[in-house]
Amino acid sequence: MWRSVAAKTSNFRRLLRINHNPKVSYTDPFHHFAPEKSIFQNPRVLLSHGYSTETWRLDSSHDDESIPTVTSDLFRENAGLDPAAAAASDIFGEGVDLESQHLDTAADGDSAFAEGLDSSDEMAEEADGAEEEGAPESLGDTKLQSVVSLLQNTAHVSLESALNELELELDESFVVSILGGELIPGENLLGFFNWVRKNPDFTLTSRVMEALVKSISVQMRKKDAYALWDLVKDIGEKDICLLNVEILNHLIAMMSKLGKGKAGYEVYTKFEDFGFTPNEDTYFLAIEALCRRSFFKWASSIIDKMMESGVVPDDQRIGSIISWLCKGKMAKEAHSVYLFGKEKNKRPPTAPVNFLISSLSRKDDTVKLALEMLDDLSGEARKYGIKPFTSVIRGLCRTKDVGEAKNLLTNMIEAGPPPSNGVFNLVIDAFSKLGEMDEAKTIMKLMESRGLKPDVYTYTVIMSGYAKGGQMEDAMKVLSEAKSKHAKLSHVTYHTLIRGYCKLEEFDKAVELVHEMKDYGVEANADEYNKLIQSLCLNAVDWKTAEKLLDEMNEKGLHLNGATKGLVNAVRDLEAEFLGIEETVIPAVAA
């Protein structure tokens, strides 16, 4: 028991020694802290570390030299005490009974307690040693923070003078750390770099240059970007060893993101002056920078050099280049890129390929190129490739290559993608315009055999083909078939037939169709009446029927233009005048 009392008395002396020591170091598993004042003289130390104010108990009954008791978990952990032993060590107040149950409880662990105190001394000594060893590193960190704080400050001060006052010892890692700092304006980064560049005791490296370029690239400010480019050009003329391809690629990418395509192109043109060979990234970034600003011809020149050099971008990049050229209406150039990638076993994504096929199909002289590209589609790309196939068929029909269009339609039926109503209608319309009505009817029957229902447009284009050839009976048969399949027809359907009858000067049948229109959900509009009235007046000189149609228009609230009204009146007056002359001439002859 007395050994226990002696051990606790020794602990008390240790605490007194700590109290008189102006600096205390202790080891915390989460933080290292070395306050200038004793932790007992400054209770806020523990408060700042998140320890409860309940761990401090100040006895106001003691004099000024009395020592407050520390019962925190922090003390117990660092002293190697368990909670019972820590409670037993509370012997600072006068009249404390050392024979209390706390001391009795701790009696069995006297040796462990003594060992814990010894280990506490060793831990304190190790912490003091670590602090002394870490002093140089702390000094370096302080210098680093000082420079960063200076560069982050936007006040109007002489940056060079302020840096000189710090008396820095520069090395590569230190400079790179500064240039990679956050929240430092690009202008100050450039100023620091120029200051370092003038320092005779420091040799610049490409690593330092890369750090500067990357930091400026992140901030994305036009002013800093142009200042950096001026700096790079100056370095390229005086100390080319500091530059490399990656640095220049970063500059091109930054100019591209800033929307400065010409500046990016200027960086690209400096590769040859600096003696560098462009790589895949160089070509792609330069092309991207120009295409973003719609400088497609400039981009095309870079693409030509890329292909001449044998540099092959990956699949995604080839697809992007193809899409950009198609947007710039340079489908032929895009097709050259496609063939270049194909030779190198590159497979661009489906979307750019489909875009290229559609673009080639829009021009008569490149439709066949689009047709050839369809053979490269396979698997899912062909299965869901209805859009590019439709584009090619539309192009073939526009160029009146209906035979090739029919072959492609047959190929789609056999191997996919399955043709839709729209595809069939394109081919039917092409044959109808050429007057090949038998072929048109055959395609329509093929359409029906596949379970597709001809729509009103299908019937209309066939009727139009018959009407153009003067085959109005055949056209009316198609109309009858359309009526049986569709309850509502269209203005175009009737307009086609009315025009056909007017060409044949069968105006009565044309008028009948006008009256029939409303039975199939179509109301004749002012344009229909206007054209029919003009035909009646100019071709049939039938102003009476024209006036009847004019009355119908008034009843329906339709407006007839003044020119047509004047035409009706003129024909009527002309007929009246002609009849008056006849009445005068005939009696004279009889006499």
Q: Tell me the residue range of the domain where 184 lies.
A: 160-243
Q: What is the pLDDT of residues 137-193, one digit of tens each?
A: 455 688 899 999 999 886 667 888 899 988 898 999 999 999 998 889 999 999 999
In terms of phi and psi (left: phi > 0; alpha: psi -120 to 50; beta: otherwise), the region of 57 is beta
d(Cα 505, Cα 310) in Å, to the nearest integer?
69
Q: Which two tokens stand for residue 98?
A: 């050392």
Q: What is the pLDDT of residues 28-41, one digit of tens each?
A: 433 333 334 433 34
Structure confidence at residue 157 (pLDDT): 73
Q: Answer whether residue 81 is part of any domain.
A: no
Q: Answer whether residue 85 is part of any domain.
A: no
Q: Answer whether residue 178 is part of any domain.
A: yes
Cα of 511 vs its chain's centroid, Å? 59
Give yes or no for residue 82 having a pLDDT over 50.
no
Q: Answer whether residue 36 is part of any domain.
A: no
Q: What is the pLDDT of residues 355-383, one digit of tens each?
A: 999 999 999 999 999 999 999 999 999 99
Average model confidence (pLDDT) for the chain?
A: 80
Mean pLDDT for the stretch of residues 260-265: 97
Q: Answer whether residue 226 is part of any domain.
A: yes
Percent of the chain beyond pLDDT 70? 73
Structure confidence at residue 522 (pLDDT): 86
- Show Cβ contacts of residue 294 under 8 Å, excluding neighbours closer than 6 positions: 328
Tell me which DSSP letter residue 556 carries: H
- Encode 159-192: b = buried (16+ Cβ within 10 Å), e = exposed: beebbeeeebeeeeebbbebbebeebebbbbbbb
d(Cα 392, Cα 389) in Å, to the nearest integer?
5
CA 118 to each of CA 11, 127, 192, 217, 237: distance values in angstroms, whole numbers, following the listed order: 10, 14, 52, 57, 67
Q: What is the pLDDT of residues 386-444, one digit of tens each?
A: 999 999 999 999 999 999 999 999 999 999 999 999 999 999 999 999 999 999 999 99
Q: Answer whether residue 457 is part of any domain.
A: no
- Encode 208-218: b = buried (16+ Cβ within 10 Å), e = exposed: bbbbbbebbbe
Structure confidence at residue 17 (pLDDT): 45
Q: Answer whether residue 86 is part of any domain.
A: no
Domain count, the chain: 1
Structure confidence at residue 576 (pLDDT): 72
Residue of 199, 151, 146 whose CA lies nearest to 171: 199
Q: Answer whether residue 225 is part of any domain.
A: yes
Residue 259 has phi, psi (to 5 degrees) of 75, 25
Structure confidence at residue 10 (pLDDT): 52
d(Cα 492, Cα 457) in Å, to the nearest integer?
9
Mean pLDDT for the stretch of residues 339-353: 97
Structure confidence at residue 517 (pLDDT): 86
Omega within 30 of 0 (cis) for the link into 454? no
